[in-house]
Structure 1
Amino acid sequence: MSQQKSDYVDETEIDESLDDLPAAETVEATVENLEANGFDVVVADDASDALAEIRSRIPEGASVMNGHSTTLEEIGFVEYLSEGDHDWESLPDDIWSIEDDAERQAARRESQTADYFLGGVNAIAQTGELVAADRSGSRIGAYPFAAGNVVIVSGVNKIVPTLDDALDRLESVAYPLENERAQDAYGVESAIAKQLIFRQELEEGRTTVVLIREQFGY
């Protein structure tokens, strides 16, 4: 079983003020600003609602890839992609079945151009910007351009007032928790090596943000 945020939150010091659930008015303002920046936004009440929204948006026959996301694990998407009843092409199953390291790395790069790429972010500014970072870039590489469609899933706990606060949340909440997870899962420390500030989506309908009215991920 994959470890979730709750496994680390008691032992890892984070800035709890940047992980609180926002007021309904804050969520509404964030949705308006994200939409003004070109993102499609769906607000889901809970994990099952979020998963249903995702399923309804991916057509039969689409190639589907996801970057690592605790939120996608928590809502059941990762398990559904691998084992669920769908007609999608599950690229992670194909990739992780490759034994040769070089071939697997090449397949991971090619998967950035999937029809649908799903993942999370580390912070959302109420002003309408998304902030995410990776050690390798295997998640955020698809977001700006490579993937045909992008679906970003996030709990509303990642909403903070400004872009500066979003960058602060990346450093003081997301990184410490991800670093603990990476050491446990891979035996190496994580790093904010490659960082994305997603300010606008210029291609209509390409990027959807699914906001869940609960606390998910980090």
Structure 2
Amino acid sequence: MSQQKSDYIDEVDVDESWDEHPSRDELEETVENLEDSGFEVEVVEDAEAALAFLQDEIPAESSVMNGHSTTLEEIGFMEYLNEGDHDWENLYGKVFSIDDDQARADARREAQTADYFLGSANAIARTGALVAADLSGSRVGAYPFAAKHLLVVAGVNKVVEDVETARERLHEFAYPFENERAQDAYGVESYPAKELVYRQEGTEGRTTVVLVEETLGY
């Protein structure tokens, strides 16, 4: 079942100014600094364009895995991965078809090395860094090294001034939403236990940040 931020908006007490969009100049500054940090950057108009970019970017027969991402749900990627017409190896579907908890955890760990791993960030610093966290590390574990290629999809509402502000957005805004989602989905509370500040990519072409000019995710 697709989960969106709007499903939890009445359950959390947050400052909605964290979802404000950057100015055009601020967005251009962000793109320039991300590229200077070694990231590929694609700016797209909306969710439909973001999905189309991912469909074109991932070659046929590639193994594809993702960490949980409300943004990927909202742009329709999860539905397309699980039900759409593609020639990818859907590692996500394989992993979560396993009934045994230990075997599923082992498969999930192995899937971190997918040809293409997809996710989002909790915040993006205009200085050219990504900030993301999760409880288990099953998402951010693939980001720095394990995955062959990484595709990070984020609405421009996640762009903030610097890394310090990005970490504030993670803890003050994104975490309350994720905590509600985790309780709804898994019956347990979440916590940003494993936090990644991704300041630079040293492998050319490995990591692409897809910035969507809409409010997406949290």
Q: Which residue of 1 aligns with 2:51?
A: 51
Counterparts of residues 1-218 of structure 1 (less than 5 Å): 1-218=1-218
Q: Could you tell me which amino acid in structure 2 is paired with residue 160 of structure 1?
A: V
Letter in 1 for 2:57: R
Offset, 1:2:
2.8
* SS of equivalent residue, structure 1 residue 31: helix
- Relative to the length of structure 1, the TM-score reads 0.98
Structure 1 unaligned blocks of 5 or more: none
Separation (CA, whole Å) in 2 of partners of 1:178 and 1:49: 25
Residue pair 2:63, 2:88 contacting (<8 A) in 1 also:
yes
- TM-fit CA distance, 1:10: 2.9
Aligned-partner SS, 2:8: helix
Shift of 1:14: 1.2
CA distance in 1, matches of 2:20, 2:167: 16
Q: CA deviation at 1:186?
A: 0.9
Which amino acid is 2:154 matched to?
S
- Contact preservation (8 Å) 2:3, 2:73: no
Percent identity over the alignment?
64
The separation in 1 between residues aligned to 2:40 and 2:87, in whole angstroms, is 24
Q: Give TM-score scaled by structure 2 length.
A: 0.98
Measure, in 2, the Cα distance between the counterparts of 1:16 and 1:47.
21
Misfit runs of 4+, over 3 Å? none
1:177-216 CA distance string (max 9 Å, x none): 1101111111100001101000000000000000000000
Give the counterpart letter for 1:167 in structure 2. R
Aligned residues: 218
Aligned residue type for 2:120? G
What's the CA shift for 1:129? Answer: 0.6
**Distance in 1 between residues matched to 2:198 and 2:15, nearest whole Å:** 23
